[in-house]
Amino acid sequence: MEPAALIGVVVALIVLGGCFAVLRGRRSRPGPTYMPLRSTAASPVDEDTRTDQLLDELAVIASTRGFLSMKGKDPRTREIGAELDRMNGMQKMRDVHRVVAAELGGVRARELEVAWDGIGNWRG
């Protein structure tokens, strides 16, 4: 990935992450001010934190390659949908879809509907 594209992704994460946090009704979680004993990747995360991470990842996918392409449905977008379905089924997927629609607009929300078609009870 080119440096300019990488900078764009980082900026999108920062800006959209903050917007998503406000829309979800909670503030962004600050990182620890101390050195954790184990890496954050190995640390268990609660469902809200994981949902935030997945929303941030969807924002990056939407701003870089999109949920759909000429090759078909983005595989990572589908993996995220499947993880959300395992968390709390259709309700969790609807919650995330609502945030995507509010923050990224109707076109991106519709693309997400199509990309998630067939995951759990989701029908795009």
Query: How many independent structural domains does the chain possess?
Result: 1
Domain of 100, in residue numbers: 3-29+45-115
Closest CA to 101 of 93, 113, 109: 109
Let me know if residue 106 belongs to a domain.
yes
Answer yes or no: is 36 within a domain: no
Residue 68 dihedral angles phi and psi, to the nearest 5°: -130, 150
Residue 40, domain member (yes or no): no
Tell me: the pLDDT tens digits for 32-72? 445 444 445 556 778 999 999 999 999 999 999 999 999 99
* Per-residue model confidence as pLDDT tens digits over 86-101: 999 999 999 999 999 9
Domain contains 63? yes
